[in-house]
Structure 1
Amino acid sequence: MKKILLNCFTVLLLNCFLVQASSLYTRYSNLDAKYDFVVAQDGSGNFKTVQEALNAVPDFRKVTTTIFIKNGTYKEKLNLSASKQMVTLIGESIEKTILTYDDYSKKKNIFGEEKGTSGSSSFYVYGPQFTAENITFQNSAGPVGQAVALLVAGDKARFINCRMLGFQDTLYTWGYGSRQYYYKCYIEGTVDFIFGSSTAVFEECDIFGKSAGYYTAASTPDSTKYGYVFINSKIHGDAPEASFFLGRPWRPFAKTVFIGCDLGEQVKPEGWHNWNKPDAEKTTFYAEYKSKGVGANDKARVKWAHQLTEKEVKENYTLEKIFNGWKPN
């Protein structure tokens, strides 16, 4: 009798184990089939933090590592190193998958030194062929000077349906020679909130100016043909009328072009600022093509800016031409 009861108890335990295993498999099988790692703050994924997932990516892996991030506000100072290549982050939703931190340039580090602009970033992307979808990148420090939400240095970076939130210096396109593509993204800020030396295309993006300032501050190297190119994007905000310049040159050879963009009332009639560097007027390349909206005013633009022809746009401003052969989409 004892033996029969023992056997029954063993079978019951085994059945319970199999049911639990089946439940876990059902819970994760769909995710596992599509993603390499899952990040969830409630412990339902492989990792609870985004940095743990980034660290787990094998160095110099030759295939894409896809990481799914469940909804949540992840307050982490993140770093994707150069050895972590071909990493894709996919958020559960753009509004509720938020990667944020609150450093700013004048904030002190452990040695009592100011962090500086580069040191203020919430997320550093050094790994090449990085992709992000449906994610909000934020610097929550507020209007306290330079406070970067996202610093992108890796080549062939793509951001699809993402948000970059901040005030001054929100998005830092940091890498010399880095090619970056932003599609249907929302980027907000005040002063120079899209800045840096990379070649970057912003297609069908929403560029939102808060307070007053400058939408861009490119530092394009003199050896690079393309800096920032905005295509069919909306350039607007809740700042007062005529309170924003389209751009100013952080470095003398800054290049910024707006093609088919809808310009709001926030855009100043003169369009561009020389950053009090008259010589930069001879070396920068600032241009528009078929701008529309209240802020479109080609006749009032500074004399050293350009209006492109249809032929120039067709011949020189395809994605393949801008990115020197790379096709991001």
Structure 2
Amino acid sequence: MKNIILTFLILFSLCAYSQEKTEYIVDRNGTGDFRTIQEAINSVRTADPRGLITIRIKNGIYKEKLVIPPHVTNIKIVGEDRDKTIINYDDHANINKMGTFKTYTFLLSGNDITLENLTIENSSAELGQAVALHIEGDRVVVRNCRLLGHQDTLYTGRDGARQYFENCYIEGTTDFIFGPATTWFEGCAIHCKKNSYITAANTPQNIKYGYIFNNCTVTVADGVTEMYLGRPWRAYSMTLFMNSTLPKGIKPEGWDNWRNPENEKTVRYMEFNNKGKGADTANRVKWSKVLTSSDAKEYTIANVLRGCDNWNPLTQ
């Protein structure tokens, strides 16, 4: 009898779960299911039996320091309008000596997360490192989003984690795309706000792929005339710009060794089939590489991001 009752309770629970909502609305004006984005994230359970949870965010400015913890997975957060759905905070590294990695506006640690149609902004003045989006998760997709900040706008964290950015706008000043993750940028606009460095990859020696920018457009603000494509945060950093448009403001040498000639022996800095006034490779540093057409065939989304689970972000 006890087994029959237990079975009934389990079936009842599963039935109840199946009838629960899998889509929520966030509206700061109070017309949705939640007024804050964090409340909606907190409603997702560990290994949630409902499957994919979608959180839709109405237009507005959400002054929140968001966290998706590691146990929250398989969710999609979608803004109503990329330019009008804004997540904003303004911490920087020199507030109470918090350091770079506590400055995030949005910390995303869970796996299998998709962000769409959002502006994520660190609106701090130029007073130190100030991260807008900090990602530690694997199999993360960011589509049609704006990432706004100055120094260290986007941190792609966690060795070997895979992240895919499509049709995004990313702006900053110094090292504003940095970290160790394997990250593909497809059709993104990269805007440089002052003379400095776009990337500071930290690719581990044992990880084959770091940053790949494909079909991207790099732009520079007025007065920017000396921009580097990247410098190595650590030895073995890997960055490739291919099929992209590079402006006049890119320095002829292209890459910097971060004041350490030893980095020149290990970095993996490459270019292929770029165009624009900054794409001339004749005066690039000798320790970077221009790929041949045969070399470039290796660099596909399938090869770079598949991992051991054959992940394909184009199906998400």
**TM-score between both structures, scaled by the size of structure 2:** 0.90
Q: Name the CA distance, whole Å, in 1 between partners of 2:282 and 2:186.
A: 25
CA contact (8 A) 1:242 1:269 kept: no
Aligned length: 292
Q: Name the CA distance, whole Å, in 2 between partners of 1:293 and 1:142.
A: 31
**1:154-178 per-position Cα deviation (integer Å, ceiling 9, x unaligned):** 0000001000000000000011111
Matching residue of 2:192: 209
Tell me whether 1:321 sits opposite 2:303 in the alignment: yes
1:81 equivalent among 32, 44, 69:
69
Q: Secondary structure at the match of 2:261?
A: coil
Matching residue of 2:159: 176
Structure 2: gaps spanning 5 or more residues: 1-18
Tell me whether 1:196 sits opposite 2:179 in the alignment: yes
Structure 1: gaps spanning 5 or more residues: 1-31, 109-113
- The one-letter code matched in structure 1 to 2:76 is T
Shift of 1:34: 9.5
Alignment of 1:1-329 (within 5 A): 36-61=23-48, 63-108=51-96, 114-314=97-297, 316-323=298-305, 324=307, 325-329=310-314
CA contact (8 A) 1:201 1:228 kept: yes
- The one-letter code matched in structure 2 to 1:40 is D
Shift of 1:103: 0.4
Shift of 1:265: 1.5
Q: Name the CA distance, whole Å, in 1 between partners of 2:47 and 2:135.
A: 18
CA contact (8 A) 1:239 1:266 kept: no
Q: Name the CA distance, whole Å, in 2 between partners of 1:239 and 1:181.
A: 29
Q: Name the CA distance, whole Å, in 2 between partners of 1:134 and 1:266.
A: 29
Q: Name the CA distance, whole Å, in 2 between partners of 1:116 and 1:219.
A: 18
**TM-score between both structures, scaled by the size of structure 1:** 0.87
Matching residue of 1:7: none
Range with greater deviation from structure 2 (234-243 or 121-130): 234-243
**1:184-241 per-position Cα deviation (integer Å, ceiling 9, x unaligned):** 0000000000000000000000000001110000000000000000001001121535
Q: Name the CA distance, whole Å, in 2 between partners of 1:151 and 1:237.
A: 24
Shift of 1:311: 1.1
Q: RMSD of aligned C-alpha atoms? A: 1.4
Q: Name the CA distance, whole Å, in 2 between partners of 1:167 and 1:247.
A: 16
Query: Quick check: which one's helix share is greater?
Result: 1
CA gap of 1:172–1:200, structure 2 versus 1, over 3 A, is same
Larger radius of gyration: 1
Shift of 1:142: 2.0
> Percentage identity across aligned positions?
44
